[in-house]
Amino acid sequence: MTQKIIILDFGSQTTQLIGRRVRELDTFCEIMPYNKFPNDDPSVIGVILSGSPYSVHDPEAFKVDLSQFVGRVPVLGICYGAQFISHTLGGKVEKADSREYGRANLETVDTTNPLFKGFEQHSQVWMSHGDTITAIPENFKVIGSTKDVTNAAFWNQKDVWAVQFHPEVFHSLQGTQLLKNFVVDICGSKQEWSAASFVDSTVAELKQQLGNDRVILGLSGGVDSSVAAVLLNKAIGNRLTCIFVDHGMLRKNEFQQVMDDYKVLGLNVIGVDASEKFFADLAGVTDPEQKRKIIGRDFVEVFNAEAKKITDAKWLAQGTIYPDRIESLNITGKVIKSHHNVGGLPKEMHLQLCEPLQWLFKDEVRRVGRQLGMPEHLITRHPFPGPGLAVRILGDITPEKVRILQDADDIYIRGLRDYKVKLSGEDARKVLAAGIPADMKDGEIEVSLYDQIWQAGAILLSTVRSVGVMGDERTYEHPVALRAVTSTDAMTADWAHLPYEFMAKVSNEIINKVRGVNRVCYDISSKPPATIEWE
């Protein structure tokens, strides 16, 4: 039975990041709503309580019955989780004189405590809270303090630990060590969760689940659906039929390129060009969410019509990954953003659902792809929205606007792939840790800008026109905004600091070569408060 850590989500923006950090320790974890602890699951070896936007004193604050797991398995409370433990077990949580946010140093650390094994004194941590713990519960002991936060970390002998800082974020320099101490040493993880073990166990499970049934899978050309297809192909071979729908808003030449890639992989793929239908149904529509719904509806209609031709199919497979399922519904059950591959099957299809990647984060999907021997250019492909360029064109959608954006985007993406930079130190380590192939020479690696970036693309501001001059003539055309972000899981993202030389070259090429564009801008917004996509 697979060991697992349960992360109870109290609404923090960094809950997924906790999950990724645990997975990086080769340990399976599951993120669950704060009130959904699985009491009857014997595979649970530990519980982590996340942060929260609430104060423990708020009437609507999320609460959990600690007796479900305290005393049964080790528990770690983070930020709100720590405050909730203190507040519930008899300590005191009060509003801080000023919000404690940003870098702090642990001035004193009890390195004899297993949570802080291997820690250095004065280790930097990241604080983010408005309340502070002014008194810890009876029978607890302080094991870490900062200059301003006496009860920064505390513990009792019933295997309950609590920290007011966020060990999961990059700015907590020994945060990974803390989580490793908890997950591996305290909880006893055998660290058996890996890409290789996932492939072996999932292929075996798929063979048992699907038997001799035929499966249909909707391909998008992206990493997730491609890896899902190769994984299923390994399990059931030609009993998998893939359908790739071209809605007309893919990147330039993408439909044919993807079809060629799938042929090399030995997949049984049916390509459907339905661009005329999508353009007709999107005509005049400007609302972003309405665009998504129309594209999702049309995709189902086109896919369903093609799938009905495969009369003996019993399963529909999707490349849904863990963040899709978490982000589509928040812990109150409210929809945040519609995902075209999350939300149920058309009832008339009468197919059962198969989601072989549903427990994986994006970086894990890529590791699985490498384990399966897939080409690197497919594995490192940036995330791309299901509705395609439709949500990168402000305003209504027309074939001409798509043509303009495809041309601009093609120049930008090719430029990112072609521009090489040398990295060393921590920057090089991050790239190598992500599994991107690179040769180290004299302490440096050389990689493309594309491989350093989580996601990039061009946005057509088709609702805006700007004055320009080309030759001796006045122009009145559209601006294009370029977007590039760095991230680990897309829940938070920072704008990529691209070299000026590269930006100048790409801007010049787009304006000179793309008819309909006379101005190029660069988006320097981070998420939050902005989102990665504009719509």
- The verdict on whether 57 is a catalytic residue reads no
**Residue 390 DSSP code:** G
Structural contact between residues 271 and 335, judged by C-beta atoms closer than 8 angstroms: no
* Whether 242 contacts 217, CB under 8 Å: yes
Closest CA relative to residue 480, chosen from 512, 531, 519? 519
Q: Is 255 within 8 Å of 227 (Cβ atoms)?
A: no
Terminal alpha carbon distance of the chain: 42
The two tokens of residue 173 are: 């320099």
Answer whether 328's CB lies under 8 Å from 198's CB: no
**Pairing of β 160-163 and β 75-78:** parallel
What are residue 205's phi and psi, to 5 degrees? -65, -40
Give yes or no: 79 in active site: yes
Query: Closest Cα partner for 258 from 282, 229, 234?
Result: 229
Distance, in Å, from the CA atom of 255 to the CA atom of 475, rounded to the nearest integer, reads 33
Q: How far apart are CA 98 and CA 132, in angstroms?
A: 10
Which run of H or of E encompasses 433?
Answer: helix 425-433
Considering the candidates 166, 247, 339, 340, report the single residue annotated as catalytic: 166
Place of tokens 């936060």: 149
In contact, 226 and 319? CB cutoff 8 Å: yes
The SS3 call for residue 472 is coil
Virtual torsion, Cα 263, 265, 269, 275, nearest 10 deg: -70
Helix orientation angle between 399-418 and 500-513, rounded to the nearest 10 degrees: 150
Listing DSSP states for 338-367 in one string gives: --TTSS---GGG--EEE-TTTT--HHHHHH
Considering 24, 30, 100, 168, which one is annotated as catalytic?
A: 168
**Can 166 be counted among the known catalytic residues?**
yes
DSSP category for residue 58? S
CB 217 within 8 A of CB 243: yes
- Helix (H) or strand (E) holding 512, with range, is helix 500-513
Query: Of residues 24, 29, 30, 79, which has the active-site annotation?
Result: 79
Q: Is the dihedral of CA 80, 324, 481, 222 positive or negative?
A: positive
CA gap 270, 309 in Å, rounded:
11
Residues with catalytic roles: 79, 166, 168
